[in-house]
Amino acid sequence: MTKPRASTAASILAPPPTLGQHTDEILAGLGYDSARISALKAGGAV
C-alpha cells in the first residue's frame, strides 16, 4: 500500500544560494578565523 501524496504541488520559496555565499560561515564553523579565511581567499584557495 502506498502513502497518499499531498494534494498541492511543492513550491520554491527562495532562490538557491549563490556560489560561495556561505563559505565564510562554513569556514568559521570549522574553526578558521577571519585572518585565515582572508588568506585563503587571497591565495585563491576559496
Please report the pLDDT score of residue 12 as a whole number.
83
From residue 43, how far is each of 28, 35, 38 by CA, in Å? 17, 12, 9
List per-block mean pLDDT (blocks of 10 residues) for the chain, which spans 46 residues.
75 92 98 98 96
Please report the pLDDT score of residue 43 as a whole number.
98
Asked if residue 9 belongs to a domain, the reply is no
Please report the pLDDT score of residue 11 as a whole number.
86
Asked if residue 3 belongs to a domain, the reply is no
Question: How many CB atoms sit inside 10 A of residue 40's CB?
Answer: 14
Domain count of the fold of the chain: 1
Asked if residue 10 belongs to a domain, the reply is no
Please report the pLDDT score of residue 7 as a whole number.
76
Which residues constitute the domain of residue 44? 19-46
Asked if residue 7 belongs to a domain, the reply is no
Asked if residue 41 belongs to a domain, the reply is yes
> What's the CA gap between 38 and 44, in Å, rounded?
10
Please report the pLDDT score of residue 4 as a whole number.
72
